[in-house]
Each structure stands twice: as C-alpha cells, then as structure tokens.
Amino acid sequence: MTNAVQMRTFQFRIYRYDPDQDAKPYMQDISVECDPMDKKLLDAMVKLKAKDDSIAFRRSCREGVCGSDAMNINGKNGLACLTDLSTFPAGKPIVLRPLPGLPVIRDLIVDMTQFFKQYHSITPYLINNDPPPQHERLQSLEDREELNGLYECILCACCSTACPSFWWNPDKFVGPAGLLAAYRFIADTRDQATSERLDNLEDPYRLFRCHTIMNCVDVCPKGLNPTKAIGKIKEMMVRRAV
C-alpha cells in the first residue's frame, strides 16, 4: 500500500557569486520539490544542494545551536535551520542572500573575520585572579539570573550584520553581538575586571555608535536583546561616573 505524499515545490532566488569565475554577483532562479518531512528552510536547501552542488552555504548542527547557516532570508537575517518552510507564502520565490555588510567568500558564505575580531576585542572569557576553589566558583541564584538572555548567544552574526552602525563602522564599532557578550562578563559577579571592561568600551565608536535602531533585537534567532544589554552597559557607566 502506498501513501499519497503531498509534495510542495518551492521557488528560490539565490545570490550566486564565485570570485574565481564570476565578474559580479547574480541571482539564480531555481526550484526544489519538498515532501512533508521537510520542515525547515535548511531541509529544502539541502535538497537544493543535491540538485545543484555548485551552491555554497554553511551549515552544521541543523538545530539552531551552531549558528553556521545564518543568511538573509527574504530581506531579514535568520537561521535557515530555524525558519519554518510553512511560513513562506506560496507563489513567491524565497530570496536568499548572504549576511549583509561582510565580504562574500562564495555564494551565501561570508568572511566573518571582522565580526570575530570585534568579539575577541571584549575579552570574552572570565577574568578572576583568585586561586580557583576546589570545585567551582559558585553564584547566588539572583546573580546567576542576570546572565539569562546573555549566555545563550551562538555568534551567528545575524544581529551585527543587520545593524546599520556595524555596516558603516565594522572596524570600530563592537556591534550588538560583541556588546551582548561584553555585558555577559560585566554582569558576571565572578568576574573581577568589570572596570577595565567598562574602560575598554567607553569610546564614541566602540560603544556609542549604537543608536538604538534595534534591528539586532528584531532578527536575533535566539530571541535575545542586545539593545537592552547595551543600555545596561551605559547605565553602569553612568553609575560609575556620577
């Protein structure tokens, strides 16, 4: 006995650019047939890759943990593995572009060097010069609570590459992802470098290029709020200064 499987065809318009072969980028129209088991955009893209293996994109965990498959989906940054195929309206092509503002290596793959350079600039690790206790450095429940909404960031770069300030000054503005990570350590009661961290950020470019545009909050696939974290950094600076 065979079950009638309802197939659905998805139209795609995909940004293509291979610097070794193409003089300039172009958009490729391609369609793919998906069965009901294909739930997420990434499922369709894997089928697309089987159909035309020249299409290049990053993906790994396929469940929103690794952050590899961040891309611009119908004009909005997001993770392909977390985007439901059912949310796309029928009859309209799904437009896929690389994350905006970063150099394109090939097709949907971007060079994240600048993004990670900013992330590394905020010393994204705990600084505590006390000798480590036998087991672990404990926090109270209230102190631990402060880290919620901060530690979950997967560094997919959806937020920073949606931020106009990061587009204009990617070399000088830390960007929402870096600032969220900075606040994650500023807020950590086990960290002893709070004042140095605030010094590191107190700069018209590194922190104060944020104009509260909130594109970062709009696109974060993990539902985090970098704008709020940036506001808390500013609040701490004010409390330190006045």
Partner 1 sequence: MKRLVVGAHYGLMDWLAQRVTAIFMAVYTLIMFAATLGGAASSREAWHALMANGFIRYLTFLFIISLCYHAWVGVRDIWMDYVQPAAIRVTLHVLTLFALVGYAGWAVQIIWRL
Least distance CB 146 / partner 1 (angstroms): 22
DSSP secondary-structure letter at 122? T
Indicate which single residue of 39, 144, 190, 234 sits in contact with partner 1 (rule: CB under 8 A). 234
Nearest CA among 106, 120, 105 for reference residue 200: 120
Binds partner 1 (CB under 8 A): choice among 15, 82, 144, 202: 202
Q: Give yes or no for residue 82 binding partner 1 (CB under 8 A).
A: no
The tokens describing 177, both together, are 């992802």
Does 190 interact with partner 1 (rule: CB under 8 A)? no
Residue 234 CB, shortest distance to partner 1, in Å, is 7
Q: Does 136 bind partner 1 (CB under 8 A)?
A: no
CB-CB contact of 126 with 139 (8 Å): no
Q: Does 169 bind partner 1 (CB under 8 A)?
A: yes
Q: Please, what is the minimum distance in Å from the beta carbon of residue 202 to partner 1? A: 5
Q: Which residues pair with 97 in a beta bridge?
A: 72
Q: Give the tokens for residue 162.
A: 């949606």
| Single-letter code of the amino acid located at 2 | T
- CB neighbours (10 Å) of residue 237? 17
What stretches of the chain show up as alpha helix (H) in DSSP?
Answer: 41-51, 113-120, 141-145, 164-168, 175-186, 194-201, 215-219, 226-241
Among 56, 64, 62, which residue's Cα sits nearest to residue 43?
62
Among 27, 168, 196, 218, binds partner 1 (CB under 8 A): 168
Strands 26-34 and 8-16: antiparallel
Taking the C-alpha atoms of residue 185 and residue 188, their distance in angstroms, rounded to an integer, is 5
Nearer to partner 1, 24 or 239 (CB): 239
**Distance of closest approach, residue 222 Cβ to partner 1, in angstroms:** 27
Q: Is residue 207 within the footprint of partner 1 (CB under 8 A)?
A: yes
Could you say whether residue 53 binds partner 1 (CB under 8 A)? no
Residue span binding partner 1 (CB under 8 A) among the ranges 9-17, 124-132, 141-149, 162-170: 162-170
Residues in binding contact with partner 1, number by CB under 8 A: 20
**232 is a contact residue toward partner 1 (CB under 8 A):** no
* Contacting residues toward partner 1, per CB under 8 A: 165, 168-169, 171-172, 199-200, 202-209, 211, 234, 237-238, 241
